[in-house]
Amino acid sequence: MTGPVRAVVFDLDGVLVDSFGVMRRAFETAYAEVVGDGPAPFAEYNRHLGRYFPDIMRIMGLPLAMEEPFVRESYRLAHLVRVFPGVREVLTALRENGYGLAVATGKSGPRARSLLERLALLPLFDHVLGSDEVAHPKPAPDIVRRAMSLLGAQAEETIMIGDAVTDLQSARGAGVTAVAAFWGETDEAALLAAGPDATLRKPEDLLEWLASGRVAFSH
């Protein structure tokens, strides 16, 4: 069926901000400090992006002690994170047109809000939720459902935009339209294989897609 969208839930890294280089440096430092010599398996880590950091460590069989230096370095290098071109303008337009906006990220809530505040994006969102603020982080649907509840929106009125398969899984579990963002350093083939309801090549495509009135929901 089709219907009006009232709420947009965004992933953070790879969708709103380009933090890939910072994540790589923070991961490599954490690995060197906790594990020791040898190349840090960042390529494998990258395949799990979208998940909560401790969950990735468990999946990879790496020490949970890596979280402290990873978070420390992420804060230290936060000034290197950039907003993707077009994102600020798109968020501003969505606010002006009355959409409810939320962030649902694999980061912790405090770290996500700190970063968005540094980048002057925080005031554009109604709510910013981190993986430490729900019982089950992505790919579980909890964080998207929580965002919907806070925004006062129903599933058929909500879309979730992410750059990882875990984002799409979380969206689908919550019953909302799952939208894949292709402007970051993402695995496009894996995202397409996950069967998103829609794909966007650049942030501005979101405004055109919403204005078209052809937003399809498959519940």
User: Catalytic amino acids?
Assistant: 11, 13
As a whole number of angstroms, the distance between CA 78 and CA 75 comes to 5
The residue type at 152: G
Q: What's the CA gap between 109 and 25, in Å, rounded?
A: 21
The residues pairing with 180 across neighbouring beta strands, listed in sequence order, are 162, 199
| Residue that is written with structure tokens 């603020």 in the block | 133
Query: CB 26: neighbour CB atoms within 10 A?
Result: 23
Q: Would you state the structure tokens that stand for residue 210, as one six-digit string?
A: 């919403």
Q: How many CA atoms lie within 13 A of 66 on its CB side?
A: 27
The string over 191-213, giving b where at least 16 C-beta atoms fall within 10 Å of a residue's C-beta and e elsewhere, is beebebbbebeebbbbeebbeee
